[in-house]
Amino acid sequence: MGKYIIKRILIAIPVLIGITIIDYAIMCMAGSPLEMLQGPRVSEAAVEAKKIALGLDKPFYIQYFVWLSQLLHGNMGYSIKSYQPVSEMIGSHLGPTLLLMGVSLIVSLLIAVPAGIYSAIRQYSKGDYAVVTLSFLGSSIPGFFLSLLLIYLFTVKLGWLPSSGMTTLGTQGGFADVAKHMVMPVIVLAASIAGRNIRYIRSAMLEILQQDYLRTARAKGIGNFKVINKHALRNALVPIVTVIGMEIPVMFGGAVIVEQVFSWPGLGLMTMSAITSRDFPVIMGVCLLSAVVVLIANLITDILYALVDPTIQLN
């Protein structure tokens, strides 16, 4: 296991470098951040001086290697817009994003796993059709549309829930206040994740339920609850673990839209602000973090394979 983890980490290094090169090239093709400064009150000389100070007068590949050398020394650069260190900006916004993503993932699994099992063991019943229909609805409805719908219903019409922020302005916050602000963002993210996962879990369970060893277990008099939750579910966990591992990187993308709509002070809101202002150092820092999250999620998924199924050998 240790050799396998070291091998995967060594493979991840050139992958990360390749991702950063592609991201930096696409970002440079999108235009210069100094275009946002141009106007009647800013002279061409001032823009040119700023361009030289930021090193944007150099070719693309030189700019990239300068950024990479600073990164290797632990410096992710400074924001062009706010002049804050990028590492501090990411650190201050990472906590709210992890909190929102973690709670959403747990809620989605608490919905998807029982619903998927129920749908599989009652195949072609009215309950099965209802679960599958809801799963398609949850996975197909756009996140921004569901967000606006919830805001209209629970904030505008009923006045039950706040529509923006993480805490109420002018208060110390607290667990209850944060939880109240999280309800609608969590519903939006969890609905999308659960909608996708229910179908995967249902499919995995249906395949396992047709195996001969489950018929033998039932013939021996083992209760149906034990057959489903001990024998069938454990063997269906390998594809389920794969789906969960894939959801972690996807949630980063979904959280960007949700955080923007609900003004949640996480990485998504910061990323959108950096994109609109073409804040290159911040964008590169978020892209690097996203790539690391994807690679770590894949590594953890492979390790969980061996824990779930002892017959899998990692070498």
pLDDT in tens, 71-99: 888 888 888 888 888 889 998 888 888 89
Alpha carbon distance 274, 257 (integer Å) = 14
Alpha carbon distance 20, 26 (integer Å) = 10
pLDDT tens column, 217-251: 777 777 777 777 776 777 777 777 777 777 777 77
Return the closest-CA partner of residue 192 out of 151, 161, 147: 147
User: Would the pLDDT of 287 be above 80?
Assistant: yes
pLDDT tens column, 170-185: 777 788 888 899 999 9
The pLDDT-based confidence of 37 (bands split at 50, 70, 90) is low
Alpha carbon distance 98, 84 (integer Å) = 22
Residue 40 is inside which H or E element, if any? none
For the chain, the average pLDDT equals 82
pLDDT of residue 107: 92
Note the helical H segments in the chain.
2-29, 44-53, 60-72, 86-121, 126-140, 143-150, 175-209, 212-219, 224-226, 233-262, 267-276, 280-308
51 within 8 A of 70, measured Cβ to Cβ: no
Alpha carbon distance 197, 110 (integer Å) = 11
pLDDT of residue 38: 61
**Whole-Å CA distances, 253 to 272, 295, 298, 311:** 11, 15, 17, 34
Q: Residue 113: is it exposed, middle or buried by C-beta count within 10 angstroms (0-12/13-18/19+)?
A: buried
pTM of the model: 0.80
User: Would the pLDDT of 295 be above 90?
Assistant: no
